[in-house]
Amino acid sequence: MTLDKRLNAFRPDLADARLEGKVEARHFIEGEGGTVATPVADLRPRPDQSAGIDTQLLLGEPVRIFERRDGWAWVQAETDGYVGYMAETELVASAQQATFWITQPRTFVYPEPDMKRPRRQALSMGSRVAIVGEAETRGTRYLTLASGGAVIAAHCARIGTTVGDDYVAIAARLLETPYLWGGKSAFGIDCSGLVQLAMMMSGKSAPRDSDMQAAGLGEEIGFDQLRRGDLVFWKGHVAIMEDEETMIHANGHTMSVAREGLKAAVERIGYLYGAPTICRRP
């Protein structure tokens, strides 16, 4: 969607106000730059802690901030265009530009370059950090952060450096991650979040939601053509083929990222949600 369509779809009051001159047009057209300041930030459809989450943003992700009110910010993620509300405390208006991202499923931030020190934070794969130096303690290399603390150097790479070109192998590294509706991190993830995160870390891009992925990610293929790396879609669900017979998916049946036989999954899912709707090859 374009930003105007998002304003009309998600915040028609802001779109109307902008068009009527009730607010400063430039503010809503351009927004204010911001950066996610917490390891994982929930993005919600309305400014209410009881509202379910639509997706999540990871530490260091850049956003455009279009409104601040009552402790909430209405933002658009620059990585995939998603919009929603997040707690204003989880943002910084400006920050030193992130230069590295986390390449392991999970890692820790220590208060100083020493793994024996109490951890300060836990970060997910895909989190972005600004590095200002490096150090070595007892033979282990660390990168020091502009925000303070240090991370294991071997758990980081420059942003854009891929974990590998096989996104299926990256998804497999997240096996047993708990299922979380709207989740997009190695602490909790949903089916389309798994596809998006694994593809991002392999140098590919994917929309956030399964319906958007089904509508235009790669090319449509037949069910009898499935091979490693292909995607199988049901209404509201997506799975990654590990080979011709086995798939990996974050699912509410096991409440985790799990392997499952394609034939068994089709039978199990079909009972409630019907047959696969489309298959695509990214």
58 CB contacts (<8 Å, ≥6 apart)? 36, 39, 40, 41, 123, 124, 126, 127, 128, 184, 185
Q: Which of 214, 211, 233 is nearest to 223 (CA)?
A: 233
pLDDT of residue 3: 39
**Whole-number percent of the chain with pLDDT over 70:** 89
Q: Which of 87, 57, 63 is nearest to 185 (CA)?
A: 57
**Dist. CA 167–CA 125, nearest whole Å:** 13
**Dist. CA 163–CA 106, nearest whole Å:** 14
Q: Are residues 62 and 37 in contact, defined by beta-carbon separation less than 8 angstroms? A: no
Angle between helices 12-20 and 3-10 (to 10 degrees): 120
- Residue 8 scores a pLDDT above 50: no
214 CB contacts (<8 Å, ≥6 apart)? 231, 233, 238, 277, 278, 280
pLDDT digits (tens, 9 = 90+) for 31-85: 899 999 999 999 999 999 999 999 999 999 999 999 999 999 999 999 999 999 9
- Residue 9 scores a pLDDT above 60: no
Average pLDDT score over residue span 126-153: 97
- Residue 99 scores a pLDDT above 50: yes
> Where are the extended beta strands (E) located within 88-200?
91-92, 100-102, 106-109, 121-124, 128-129, 131-137, 140-145, 150-152, 156-158, 184-185, 188-189
**What residue has token string 């409630």?**
272
Instruction: Give CA separation, 267 vs 85, 180, 223, 235, 252, in Å.
Output: 38, 23, 15, 14, 15
**Dist. CA 119–CA 130, nearest whole Å:** 18
Q: Are residues 169 and 41 in contact, defined by beta-carbon separation less than 8 angstroms? A: no
Average pLDDT score over residue span 174-198: 98
pLDDT of residue 2: 35
On average, the pLDDT of the chain sits at 91
- Residue 278 scores a pLDDT above 80: yes
pLDDT of residue 22: 32
Would you place residue 6 in the very low, low, confident or very high pLDDT band (cuts 50, 70, 90)?
A: very low
Q: Which two tokens stand for residue 6?
A: 């998002």
- State pTM to two decimals: 0.90
- Residue 86 scores a pLDDT above 80: yes
The residue type found at 262 is L
pLDDT of residue 29: 64
Domains detected in the chain: 3-92 (2.30.30.40), 100-158 (2.30.30), 167-281 (3.90.1720.10)
pLDDT of residue 26: 45
**Dist. CA 29–CA 154, nearest whole Å:** 40
